[in-house]
Amino acid sequence: GATAGTGGTSGRPLIREDPEICRALGALVAELGSGPPLREPAAEAPAPAEAGDTASGQAAAAEATAATATSAAVASKGQLALPMEPAMRAATEGPKGGKPRRVLGDVWIDVEERGGRYDEPAGGAEAGGAMAPARRRAGGDEAGPFFSFDAAVEELAQAGEEAAAEPEAVLADAGIAAAGPEPTGFALLPGLTLRDAVLERAALYRRMQAEAKEITTVTREDKRKVNKCLRELKGLEKRLSAAVESSQRAWDMAMAAEDRDGIDQAMLLATSTMHSVNRVVSALIDGTDSIGEMHRAASERERRAAEGAREAPAFWAAVARASEEACGWFGVQAAALEGLMASTEAPKCTALRKADNTVKLINEKLQRWADEQRILREEARTAEQTRIKEAKQAAEAELQRQKEELRKQHEEMQQRREAAIQWGRNLVEPIPHLVYAAGASSGLSGAGQQQPPPLPA
């Protein structure tokens, strides 16, 4: 294939052909050159046979020489030489009679190569551009028109001999002098971007294909998660109904409780019911948030699939339809979940309110029992204080009685002593072994005489 670039300072495009194409083109031109002439003059002066044969031989020899010289010139300029053997052999042999046939070499087309060869190292383009004037000097000051049959064979042969006679060193020196310093960079035409564009588009399509597969997989996984979440949330609704019954049972137990054990059981049932309801509500909120997030992600995937379907329908058409259906399905499930949340609101409130009332009732009972205990303790303390006070009063009264009795006894003793002193009996000692007669005693008693007081002890 041909590659375009800048050929030196001339500004002309650089054409580099593949060697196989050049060889095939040379073979084709050789086959065409061995055929009949393209155009013959309408009128030519006949010539004698001997003269014609001599002229034909001289023309054939001249053509062979020109072909050889031209081939050498082309080879010296770095061009690929076309096959010459058939043309030279035909020109040498010539026809047996009449004018010779037109063969390859009668007319040479000077295809000037601008820039370096296709197999030259870097910098060849600039060197080739610099060598162009030398080649033009070798082939003539002007290259002549392309595919022109006006140039004579003798002129071409003479130009080829001059080019062959010019030393290679002179051409090399001229090329180096014209090229100047070796360039450090090349100013190329904008490169062909078709390959990069195709590779980029292929990479983009591969990414789209992978993304489409990923969207399909993620959508399928999200559907599975949503179905599982909905099943769990429906089970939570049954748990809320059971929580309502549990809270009612806790209320009944609290109402019937008469001791600390019954109160503790009712409190445990009420608190466990409240914790269960809170866990169910948290699970419902988490499930709602999760499904809402999946719905938003499905909407984003639907938007991306719609954009991809506009860019590459082959990859995204089915994915776009599936994403649209999935987004609608997620919307339906989100609406169903909202209805489920609304239906669980009433049992949730009932269970929580009943459990809270049960806890309040238990607290009131405990407070009442505590107040009763405090009142009983106060009453007992008051009774004890009263008993102690009464005991103190009784002790004081007994002490006062005893004091009064002692006082009375002391007074009686004092009176007896005074009476004994009055009768003088305190100075009289009774006769030992004196026995009083009963009659006398009774007579005296009956006479109403006053008995003497007993002797003091």
pLDDT tens string 164-179: 555 555 555 665 665 5
3-state secondary structure of 451: coil
CA distances from 222 to 111, 225, 228, 330 (A): 70, 5, 10, 9
Percent of the chain exceeding pLDDT 70 equals: 53
185-189, 345-349, 405-409, 412-416: least confident range: 185-189
Average pLDDT, the chain: 69
Q: For the chain, which domains are there?
A: 6-36+49-183 (no CATH), 200-373 (1.20.58)
Within 10 angstroms of residue 297's Cβ, the number of other Cβ atoms is 16
**Residue 395 pLDDT:** 92
- Distance, in Å, from the CA atom of 256 to the CA atom of 356, rounded to the nearest integer, reads 17
- DSSP notation for 306-362: HHHHHH-HHHHHHHHHHHHHHHHHHHHHHHHHHHHHHHHHHHHHHHHHHHHHHHHHH
Average pLDDT over residues 184-209: 68
Q: What is the pLDDT of residue 454?
A: 56
d(CA 171, CA 169): 5
Mean pLDDT of 209-235: 84
Give mean pLDDT, residues 249-257: 89
Answer yes or no: are the C-beta atoms of 376 and 274 closer than 8 Å: no
Q: Is the pLDDT of residue 90 over 80?
A: no
Determine the pLDDT at residue 374: 92
**At residue 402, what is the residue type?**
Q
pTM value surpassing 0.85: no
